Every structure is written in structure tokens, then in C-alpha cells.
Amino acid sequence: MAEPLIRMQNIRKSYGRVQALEDANFHVNEREIVGLLGDNGAGKSTLIKVLSGAVPLTSGDIFIRGKKVSLRSTSDAIAQGIETIYQDSALVTQLSIARNLFLGREPIKPPRFLNRMDQDAMNTVARDLLKQVGISKNIPPTTPIGSLSGGERQAVAIARAMHFDSDLIILDEPTNNLGVAETQGVLSFVRSARDSGHSCIFIAHNIHHVFQVVDAHRIAPFAEDLHIADAG
């Protein structure tokens, strides 16, 4: 049997006397969309925070393609190919689409010691990604991202993760507060991410959205690694 992309084994996370996760087991296979389900307080958010490096685990092990890794920060997670997209997309609304796509990873013009951002390179990539995202309006990459709709901003955030070759894209409530058409656009783009070779974890309160895109789902709490069903 092939090694999963991500395997979390016997994960414990406590906040003082509060046990948020206890011996949790979880895995995601290559090119798989996994829906994460469970009641509030069941441990979904804590599991994702541990996997994204936002909070340290108390004990347990995390493996990526069979190799044990340490995720002590979000930078560690990103370096290991794990990108998390939160409800607010973690975008800076006042900055341009291009700047948001490269935020913290801006290309530098030569000579590098002058530390000048290569705006032309960012604009070129952003223009191509906008087409891939399916934003048909003639929007220049210099447009402030705050002028896009909620669904368009989510799509740009997913495109950013795909552009930087993230192996695992974690989507935390990506369809929250979106209209029907925008929701379908985001769900379609999640499928495109999977078809392009990325794995995804999809978290949503709307179970109908989950089952439209997932290949399998896991139910919190994660006392057993439940691979419940194939959504086809």
C-alpha cells in the first residue's frame, strides 16, 4: 500500500488542563480531497492548526511521505509544502492582486543586493493565474484585491498555493458567506487543484459542499483514522 502524503499519528494537544486532541490519527493520500467533519469542539480546528504549524503539538508524530517532520511554525509547514487558506483568505485587501499572490515571496530584480521587487514578473504571473482561476473580467493584476468578490478572492488564494507547488492545500471554510454561483466556482477550483496533483483538506459546516468535492471524509474526534466513504 502506498505511503500517504500526510500521516498524523497519536497526536495530542493540550492547553493547560484542557485536552483538545487525544491520540488523534489522521491521513491524507496523494491527489485526494478529504472532507473534515465534526461538531464544534471536536478537534477539527486544533488538528489543522497543528498540521499548519500554527500551534505546536504536545506529543505525537507527523510524517510526510513516510518521513518524520517537525512543524514548529507556519514557515516550517510552508517549507514542507503545506499551505493553509483561511476564511478571510489571509489576503491584504489594499494591496494589488499581484502583490497578494507573492506576499512574503516576492521575486527580486537583479542585482539582488539592491533588493528591488520585480513587479513586472509578478504582474505577468498574476495575469496568467487570473485566467486559470476563471476570472473572465478584464481585471489588471495591479487592481486592489479588495475589489474582487469573496469567491474570486478565495480562488486567487487557492491559485497562490498551486503556483508555489504546495503538496497539501488546507481550506478552512472556503465557501463561508458566498453566494451559490461563487460557491460552485470555488468548489470547481478545488477539484482543479486535485486534478493538478495537489491534495486538499476541505473544512466546511455545509455538509452538501463537502460531499460535492471530497474523495473521502474523516470524522472528528480522531480516535480512529476513519476513512469512511468514497464520494465518487
Confidence (pLDDT) at 29? 94
Question: Structural domain of residue 12, as residue ranges?
Answer: 6-92+150-219
Q: Is residue 117 included in any domain, yes or no?
A: no
**pLDDT tens, position by position, 166-215:** 999 999 888 887 888 888 888 888 898 899 899 999 988 888 888 898 88
The whole-angstrom separation of Cα 24 and Cα 57 is 11
Confidence (pLDDT) at 189? 84
Confidence (pLDDT) at 124? 92
Q: Which percentage of the chain shows pLDDT scores above 70? A: 90
Q: Is residue 122 included in any domain, yes or no?
A: no
Residues 6+ apart with CB under 8 A from 55: 13, 46, 49
**pLDDT tens, position by position, 95-148:** 999 999 888 888 898 888 888 899 999 999 988 888 776 665 678 899 998 888
> Which helix (H) or strand (E) element contains residue 128?
helix 119-133
Give the count of domains, the chain.
Answer: 1
The whole-angstrom separation of Cα 223 and Cα 143 is 46
Helix, coil or strand: residue 185: helix
Q: Is residue 45 included in any domain, yes or no?
A: yes
pLDDT at 27 over 50: yes
Task: Tell me the C-alpha to C-alpha distance, in Å, between residue 220 and each of 12, 168, 223.
Answer: 14, 19, 8
Q: Is residue 193 included in any domain, yes or no?
A: yes
Task: Tell me the C-alpha to C-alpha distance, in Å, between residue 132 and each of 33, 41, 204.
Answer: 20, 37, 24
Confidence (pLDDT) at 152? 82
**pLDDT tens, position by position, 47-99:** 999 999 999 999 999 999 999 999 999 999 999 999 998 866 668 889 999 99
pLDDT at 157 over 50: yes
Confidence (pLDDT) at 216? 80
pLDDT at 6 over 90: yes
Q: Is residue 205 included in any domain, yes or no?
A: yes
Q: Is residue 26 included in any domain, yes or no?
A: yes
pTM, two decimals, is 0.81
Confidence (pLDDT) at 130? 80
Q: Is residue 133 included in any domain, yes or no?
A: no
Confidence (pLDDT) at 112? 82
Q: What is the CATH number of the domain that holds 214?
A: 3.40.50.300
Confidence (pLDDT) at 70? 96
Q: Is residue 30 included in any domain, yes or no?
A: yes
